[in-house]
Amino acid sequence: MRSGTPLFPEAASTIAPRVDALYLFLVGLTAFMTILIAALVVIFMVKYKRRDPNSIGARIHGGMALEIIWSIIPLFIVLGIFVWATGLFFDIARPPAETMNIYATGKQWMWKFQHLDGQREINELHVPVGRKVKMIMTSEDVIHDLYVPAFRVKADVIPGRYSHIWFEATKAGEYHLFCAEYCGTQHSGMIGKVVVMEPDDFQAWLSGGVQEGSLASAGSKLFQDLACNTCHRPDAQGRGPVLQNLFGKTVTLASGENVVVDEAYIRESILTPSQKVTAGFQPVMPTFQWLVSEEGILQLIEYVKSLKTDMPVSAVRPNTGGPAPNENTPAQTLPTRN
Amino acid sequence: MSSSTVAMPPTHYLNNGLTLKSWLFTKDHKRIALLYLVAVTFFFMVGAAFAVAIRLELATPAGDLLSDENYNRVFTMHGVMMVFFFLIPAVPAILGNFLIPLQIGAKDLAFPKLNLLSFYIYFVGSLFTMYSIVSGGLDTGWTFYTPFSTIASTSAVVPAALGIFINGFSGILTGLNFIVTIHKMRAPGMTWFRLPLFVWAHYATSLIQVLGTPVLAITIVLVAAERVFGFGLFNPAVGGDPVLFQHLFWFYSHPAVYIMILPAMGIISELVAAFSRKQVFGYTFVAFASIGIAVIGFLVWGHHMFVSGESVYAALVFSVLSFIVAVPSAVKVFNWIATMYRGSVSWETPMFYVAGFIGLFSIGGLTGLFLASMGLDVHLTDTYFIVAHFHYVMVGGTIMGYLGGIHFWWPKITGRMYNDVLGRISAVVIFVGFNLTFFPQFVVGYLGMPRRYHAYPEEFQVLNVLSSAGASVLAVGYLMPLFYLAYSLKYGPIAGDNPFGAVGLEWNTTSPPPTENFKTTPVVTWEAYEYPTPVEGHVV
Amino acid sequence: MADHSQHHIVPKSTYYLIFTALMLGTGLTWWIATIDLGAMNNVIMLSIAVTKATLVILFFMHVKYSPKLTGTVIIGAVFWLLIMLVMTMNDYFTRDWLHFG
Amino acid sequence: MSNAASVAHDEQQHHPRLAHHFESLEQQTDSSLFGMWIFLATEILFFGGALMAYMIYRRWYPDAFALASSHIAILPGAINTAVLIISSLTMALAVHAAQTGERGKILFFIVVTMILGAAFLGIKGYEYYEKYAEGFIPGLGLEFRFPEPEYAKNAQIFFSIYFVLTGLHALHMIVGLGLMTWMFIWVKDGVIDTQYYAPIEIVGLYWHFVDIVWIFLFPLLYLIGRHVHHG
């Protein structure tokens, strides 16, 4: 963050210079066209100023050639810009294959971040220089929007689904973090800062502070607490599908449809389990709608992601026993809203 | 000015009945236009008062003048008042209403009673919306995004939404009236391609009003059903999609931008021709550009949603169409400039507004390209860059055009002339004040200042102070016409039937026109903007 | 172009014929709904509905005997509705296309 | 163009309902019918918006929609469809009678149409009551009791759309009844004659449009998923 009066934002991500290049090109085009148009208007106003009150203009109806020229040339110019801008957009929208994931939850009026290693932050986000970071984001109430001007990225954070942004920071420093989608009374207070650190400093930061255990282990604990493990067993003997190695795979549903197991599908399966039942299983799973928070779901997702066959489920089981799993199925009737 | 020994006609629409009742229950399109003029000016003042509060608050980075709650209510009401009660009705309901029958040689609009009804619907709608101000305010932004507007906001969403719903019918009925009038009421000889471009622009506008507004209406019904009855339509808790609201909303509200700008473009076409005394260059291209904008304008709404979670593929389609819609607008600008070439360009007040319009609209339109560029829009959307862009189009464009039109037809409407020097000064002051206010917002927007922020980081202050300072200049510019135009009502010189030596059927009747518009139904035998030589203050 | 639409009187027999077709269409829709044709159920039911609507528009609403302009208005409105549906569906059908794991 | 043609047209008789700004009654009738059609165009887009919500959610939640739909009794809906189609016929016959100038018949058919319209609303009201009794109201602070709880959430969306669409349709019916009352009075007072019957034709257009809306609502709301769930 800077003092004084900057006229151009800092560029602190790999994508930022490319956005700036397009911006500066368009500024140049706008300046050129505006000056051209303004000059013509002024010149014609002066040159053809009415001197005799009874004079009239020349009889000119139009010119087909001119019309075609000034339709076609702008058309090609804007289509060129379209190609340039769309290529850029795809690179902004499509995260690279290997990313460091951070989960974000927006709520009126704060940002909550969870690192995979378990660090949690509020309104402050620490990321290292030179790593590709992907934010997996959802909202607990209304639509928010995570916006980091220095990185030139933003995306709406929508309740009920996951959206993403990704960036690779290039410069250590502190940058603004805004909520860019109007979200109510303290919208302008839903701000924070992104702290970009050198990799070593970041490692030090990660290992410092209160160690709460990794996100996956928190998810694992929740998995036990909610008694998910009674059905989702690693040995294919449970009433629910095996979750090991499941993430990213395509599964066939009872309806015959195929779905990719992604964050949204896991979330849906936790909240409305009967909607998309995997083929070969009974729709016996109760909803966990009112039992687990958005952050808890993110932990469960990360836990499912962490399940690989070479790492048996017991390996991440926390040593705390936790409360006895509740045997009763959770309430089935939904409270009505009003 | 032309002939000086002119007198007012003995009877005209203004002195045909002097009682309040003869005004409030009039079916004369010209009187209804004046009813709108009064109401629309009032709502402009209300909207402007909110704008003053916004700019005062933003003069300092801290949220110190207004509470965050009140600030949100203020910018919401600024948007609602300006968009729904000023910009959308301004040109069609005032100048369109007044001029379309005159320009096509009709005695009135096709449905005069419906026209009066439109006014009262507008009035009742405004009452509901005004009521929301006093019953807790409205803090959703003029866009009413769900689920904030349906489940989170504690403000008076329902009365405000109801007001906008009701007001929508006013727009629909006005549009319907115009379409039928233009189809069925043209004078003999007034073929489609002899119509003034102002009429073409209003035809295109009416299409948008008729086809777009009902979708806004149903959207409001769905929001109200969710908010009042607790139905789950956009609510993620029952599996609803809040983004669906945005599709429905922008399907109307993006074309609504063209409802605001197209009539202003129509005015500019008239003004350029009249003050260059020359046919509009490429008449058919300008006419079809209006229709093209109206049609393509319906295919681009998704560019408001590039970061809202719509699919990348849909975004791509919306983006390319958004670029394409820029072309007819560019064509219009080029044709206006070409019209001035070798014209007889008068330096009277309306021409100053034309020059201002072309400058500001060009910047507004070109910065639209930034926002249609998906890769750039990610950074720019929901920042002050957007705010600056749409003010350049809607304020720099529409209001410049509107004021230009008011100055052009003022002698026709009132029969009297205003002070031309003051008129030119006002145009310059508005132009300068406008740029001072909104140009810094482009810069602060690219720096990353989000819109709808009550408090902001300190490094943005200088630009915001500039903007607030510019706003005070702009306010002076907007107040000036109010005074000298009002003054001219009583003390202005008698204008005569055709003070500018312009062509067009409206200049063939008296100023002010009689209630029946024309003594005898005119028969048109000439092309649009056909200037006979030499001009003698009165044509045909 | 003045078609004298208001002078054309549709014979009553036409009305009765259309009425019969509409009633039959309703019965047919109900019957189709109860037999399993997979995805075709919807297609058939909506085709019947479109046919019924067209009959009402052409005969009960006299569009067959009205100026072309009337038909243009109807087609225009339906076309605009399709714009809205298609462009929005374009989003909903392709939200998974760029799948970010 | 029609206006050019109509200028020279009938200067001879001046109908009392001819407004001052029209050249002829024909131009006036043409204009008002055209205006009505434009209004109906707006209505298409109005219902279209709600229909779009329906399409999207039905595609998202096909099972919940099919289940929810199969909990609606077909019979009242089918009877109502028939009632509306009959009323459309009687409306068309009323316009026919207006064209031929049989005033008694116009009145008769308007009354029959109104009775059928009222019958439709009565049956609709009964259906609403049933939904209330079964616990299918997705709001108003009432408990939403869906027999298959795992689909309850998304079934709420179905019933929300059901009530919005049928509610708006019913509202249009009520407006139609009002318009028909007005026409009844006008016919009785002799305002309507064989020259000037555009108002009846316009009300007829409106009524047929409301019928068309129902022609689509019936299969979309009552009949989806019947072949899967025999409710």
Q: How many residues does chain C have?
A: 101
- Facing residue for C49 by CB, picked from D42, D215, D226: D215
Query: Predicted confidence band at A326 (pLDDT cuts at 50, 70, 90)?
Result: very low
> Which residue, among D223, D224, D228, D229, would best test binding to C if mutated, counting the most C CBs under 10 Å from its CB?
D223
pLDDT single digits (tens) B488-523: 999 999 999 999 999 999 999 999 999 999 989 999
Among B325, D51, D213, D58, smallest CA distance to C82 is for D51
- Interface confidence (ipTM) of the complex: 0.91
Higher pLDDT, A224 or A29: A29
Query: How deeply is C23 buried, as exposed, middle or buried, from its count of CB atoms within 10 A (0-12, 13-18, 19+)?
Result: middle
What's the whole-model pTM score? 0.90
Please give, rounded to a whole number of angstroms, the shortest distance from the CA of C61 to a CA of chain D: 6
Per-residue pLDDT at A259 exceeds 70: yes
For B456, left (φ over 0), alpha (ψ -120 to 50), or beta? Answer: beta
Residue C14 CB neighbour total at 10 angstroms: 14
Q: In this predicted structure, which of A71-75, A226-230, B180-184, B229-233 has the lowest mean pLDDT?
A: A226-230
Per-residue pLDDT at A74 exceeds 70: yes
**Chain D residues within 8 A of B183 when measuring between CB atoms:** 2, 31, 34
Determine, for residues D2 and B221 on separate chains, whether the beta-carbon distance falls below 8 Å: no
Is B183 within 8 Å of chain C by CB?
yes
Q: Is residue B226 part of a domain?
A: yes
Query: Predicted confidence band at A336 (pLDDT cuts at 50, 70, 90)?
Result: very low
Using DSSP's 3-state secondary structure scheme, residue B345 falls into strand
pLDDT single digits (tens) A198-226: 999 998 888 876 666 788 888 888 888 88
Is A152 within 8 Å of chain B by CB?
yes
Say what the pLDDT of residue A212 is: 67
Using DSSP's 3-state secondary structure scheme, residue A86 falls into helix
Is D79 within 8 Å of chain C by CB?
no
Determine, for residues C56 and D34 on separate chains, whether the beta-carbon distance falls below 8 Å: no
Say what the pLDDT of residue A275 is: 75
User: Which tokens sit at B120?
Assistant: 């009262």
Chains contacting chain D through 3 or more C-beta pairs under 8 A = A, B, C
Average pLDDT, chain B: 94
Domain range for D204: 23-222
Domain range for B91: 31-508
> Which residue, among C73, C80, C91, C98, would best test binding to B if mutated, counting the most B CBs under 10 Å from its CB?
C91
Determine, for residues A248 and C99 on separate chains, whether the beta-carbon distance falls below 8 Å: no
Query: How deeply is B329 buried, as exposed, middle or buried, from its count of CB atoms within 10 A (0-12, 13-18, 19+)?
Result: buried
Mean pLDDT of B260-267: 97
Sign of the C-alpha dihedral computed for residues A80, A40, B96 and B182 taken in this order: negative
Which chain D residue is nearest to residue A277, measuring alpha carbons? D150
pLDDT single digits (tens) D6-52: 444 444 467 888 888 898 999 999 999 999 999 999 999 999 999 99
Mean pLDDT of B352-375: 96
Query: Predicted confidence band at A322 (pLDDT cuts at 50, 70, 90)?
Result: very low
- Facing residue for B311 by CB, picked from C69, C80, C91: C91
Determine, for residues C100 and A95 on separate chains, whether the beta-carbon distance falls below 8 Å: yes
Say what the pLDDT of residue A304 is: 86
Mean pLDDT of A44-72: 92
Per-residue pLDDT at A314 exceeds 50: no
Please give, rounded to a whole number of angstroms, the shortest distance from the CA of D80 to a CA of chain B: 24
> Please, are residues B129 and B155 in contact by the beta-carbon 8 Å criterion?
no
Axis-axis angle for helices B400-414, B242-276 (nearest 10)? 50
| Number of independent structural domains in chain D | 1
Q: Is residue D7 part of a domain?
A: no
Q: Is residue B478 part of a domain?
A: yes
Say what the pLDDT of residue D13 is: 60
**Chain B residues within 8 A of D46 when measuring between CB atoms:** 214-215, 217-218
Query: Predicted confidence band at D118 (pLDDT cuts at 50, 70, 90)?
Result: very high
Say what the pLDDT of residue B533 is: 64
Higher pLDDT, D183 or A325: D183
Mean pLDDT of A304-316: 58
Say what the pLDDT of residue C5 is: 45
Determine, for residues A332 and D63 on separate chains, whether the beta-carbon distance falls below 8 Å: no
CA gap C48, C43 in Å, rounded? 9
Say what the pLDDT of residue A335 is: 36
β-pair type (A173-179, A144-148): antiparallel
Structural domains present in chain A? 1-47+95-212 (2.60.40.420), 215-316 (1.10.760.10)
Mean pLDDT of A27-43: 97
**Chain C residues within 8 A of B251 when measuring between CB atoms:** 84, 88
Domain CATH number, residue B486: 1.20.210.10
Q: What is the 3-state secondary structure (H, E, C) of D9-49?
A: CCCCCCCCCCCCCCCCHHHHHHHHHHHHHHHHHHHHHHHHH
- Facing residue for B176 by CB, picked from D2, D35, D49: D35
Query: Each residue of A173-196: b (16+ CB within 10 Å) or e?
Result: bebbbbbbbbbbbbbbbbbbbbbb
What sections of A16-173 are H helices per DSSP?
16-47, 64-93
Write out the H or E segment, with its range, that includes residue B213.
Answer: helix B197-229
pLDDT single digits (tens) B297-326: 999 999 999 999 999 999 999 999 999 999
Determine, for residues C97 and B318 on separate chains, whether the beta-carbon distance falls below 8 Å: no
Per-residue pLDDT at A282 exceeds 70: yes
Q: Is residue B516 part of a domain?
A: no
Percentage of chain A lying above the pLDDT 70 cut: 88
Please give, rounded to a whole number of angstroms, the shortest distance from the CA of D120 to a CA of chain A: 30
Domain CATH number, residue D48: 1.20.120.80
> Please, are residues D6 and D27 in contact by the beta-carbon 8 Å criterion?
yes
| Number of independent structural domains in chain B | 1
Q: Is residue B6 part of a domain?
A: no
Q: Is residue B7 part of a domain?
A: no
Using DSSP's 3-state secondary structure scheme, residue A60 falls into coil
Using DSSP's 3-state secondary structure scheme, residue A179 falls into strand
Q: Is residue B538 part of a domain?
A: no
